[in-house]
Amino acid sequence: MLFNSPEFLVFLIVVFSLYWLVLKKHHRMQSLLLLVSSCIFYMFFIPKYIFILFITILIDYFAGMKIATSEGRKRKVYLVVSIISTCMVLFVFKYYDFFVSNINSISSIVGWNYSVDAMKIILPIGLSFHTFQSLSYVIEVYRRKQEPEKDFLIYSLYVMYFPQLVAGPIERASNLLHQFHEKKKFNFSLAAEGMHQILWGMFKKVVIADTCAAYANHAFASHDTLSGMSLILGAIAFAFQIYGDFSGYSDIALGTSKLFGVRLMRNFNLPYFATNISDFWRRWHISLSTWFRDYVYFPLGGSRVEGWKLYRNVFTIFVLSGIWHGANWTFVMWGLIHSIFYSAYVMIYKPHKKSKSEQSNPPSFVSNFTGGILTFFIVTLAWIFFRAANVSEAFAYISDIATQPMFASDTKVFLKLAILIIPFLLLEWFNRKSTEGVIFSSYNIKPSVRLAIELVLAVLIIDCFYTLDHEQFIYFQF
């Protein structure tokens, strides 16, 4: 079930009505309703895959209990069993065919008479997201930072909660579990905030992302026939497509969750206003970047180590992040590009780290602007690999930018993208201080003005919904 579909609107109205009107005095039944609704939501895609989720929930639920009640070597054994079991499901469904195809390619190159058949199975939707969410739970229990959840209903809901089930944010047990235990009273202001955030997320997805998708798809499909400027615009269009798509999903997820009195973590914070590559990763897909920081980067020593170990750590988290996104060398290249530029940033910045007195003086506008343009260039370059079907196509796309005639009938495309993106960026910048990205929530704007703006957004959403092709959320494939 897609957030940008009429079916989801009906689903949400029904679940919301039952949650607050029928079951408002029965907290346990509210939790059961959310779990059943989450199962229905997930089964709209491939119903039988619900059993995969159920198996991983069982494994990690009992592993958490065993880890908490065991001592010494047994605790680590239960942790390892849980991690291997959960990751094995991810490997089989997401990486097995990729692994086999590469083994077969190597065998062919060296002349081995060896071949393994691929399974060619469909990836369960959102598998990488709820896998990482489950892993964070058992790791936190092992570290004694999280008490094991004894209520199987609540733990199942933690893994399956439908607003963030298929594309995050990747929640921590410390943020979500206690909220499911709390008795809920309807909070009109929180629900209204959620509705505003859903509208803003729908605008990002339907108006920004789906409009940019048309330009990006054309550019990547016909890169050998277009001018260099058209290809640059196509790459920029994809940069805003994936941002509008994923951050739009996150806003809808956060807003939907608020309708049920549950707050999810913010997943985006104006990433295209970042002034350096480190700043970008503090703002983009925050739940994933903090996951890798806490469970990979810090255990390896983080930034405390010196020399090659520091760059090893940077390389590790970015390549793993690339592999997490998909079983394709394009994602590995995407992660590798970010690791190279991040390492270069660390190499330049760390030896000249400012003192506290120097840090009190903010960077100049020119410095921030120049850094922002350079960062956007790096990020957009990496997005070409993320979007391309394979690595050779990505290099061909970049080569065509350099070798094709630079200008040829690009004016209309440029103007259309400018008319779309510039006002959007202005709205984002004006909205930069808003709570959790909720549009205009931190400004004293007259209700009539806010209503007028949101009516315009709603009209644009409806118009684009009926005139554009509906694009599936990009991160559903991960």
SS3 label, residue 24: coil
- Is residue 223 annotated as part of the catalytic site, yes or no? no
> Looking at 130, 196, 223, 325, which residue is catalytic?
325
Listed residue (129, 130, 133, 122) closest to 93, CA to CA: 122
Contact in structure between 477 and 326 (CB atoms under 8 Å): yes
Which residues contact residue 159 at a Cβ distance below 8 angstroms, ignoring those fewer than 6 apart? 53, 56, 57, 60, 130, 133, 134
CB-based contacts of 102, cutoff 8 Å, min separation 6: none
Name the nearest CA neighbour of 124 among 61, 51, 57.
Answer: 51
Distance CA(439)–CA(436), nearest Å, equals 9
Burial of 354 (0-12, 13-18, 19+ CB in 10 A): exposed
Q: Find out whether 82 and 74 touch, Cβ atoms under 8 Å.
A: no
Residues with active-site annotation: 325
